[in-house]
Amino acid sequence: MNDKQDVLDQGPFFHGTKVRLKIGDLLEAQNLSNYQDKKSNYIYFTASLEAAKWGAELAASDAKERIYIVEPQGEFENDPNLTDKRFPGNPTRSYRSKSPLKIVAELGVWERHSDEAIDHMLASLKELREQGKAIILD
């Protein structure tokens, strides 16, 4: 774990996905990314329910959207894909780790974004990919 003086965020932490997991499971790096066709070097998570909702809604799958409450099992850092490029200061409270995240609970009920907002975001991401700008620093 991060030293108490160096902790970036106290949480609680969330991971949005469409993968069905059980309490006690570990999310680990080196699994296929929810957002690109490759294995990810990190596992991504957030302390923002809003960001977790987007994670679940935008994940590549037709499966049920899920948000898990997770506990980092090691050190973590600010997600440079959001903090450096889009949101200086990390207002989305987005992080990544090479250490596992332990599933401690699943949120049973949460309010989705509208279908229109999700479709708009998916179209924007598709456009970025087509322009070669959907690069994830991993």
pLDDT tens string, the chain, 138 residues long: the values are 444 446 678 889 999 999 999 999 999 987 666 655 667 789 999 999 999 999 899 888 889 999 999 999 999 998 887 666 666 777 788 899 999 999 999 999 999 999 999 999 888 878 877 777 655 666
* 135 found inside a domain: no
DSSP-derived secondary structure letter, 34: S
* 136 found inside a domain: no
Give CA–CA dist 69/111, Å, rounded.
16
* 67 found inside a domain: yes
SS3 content of the chain, % helix, strand, coil (to 5): 25, 25, 55
Count how many domains the chain has.
1
Range of the domain at 41: 4-130
Assign residue 75 the CATH number of its domain. Answer: 3.20.170.40
The secondary element (H helix, E strand) that includes residue 137 is none
The sheet with strand 13-17 has its strands ordered as: 26-27, 101-106, 66-72, 13-17, 43-46, 94-97, 77-78
R_g (Cα) of the chain, nearest Å: 15
* 122 found inside a domain: yes
pLDDT given for residue 90 in this prediction: 77
The secondary element (H helix, E strand) that includes residue 78 is strand 77-78
* 137 found inside a domain: no
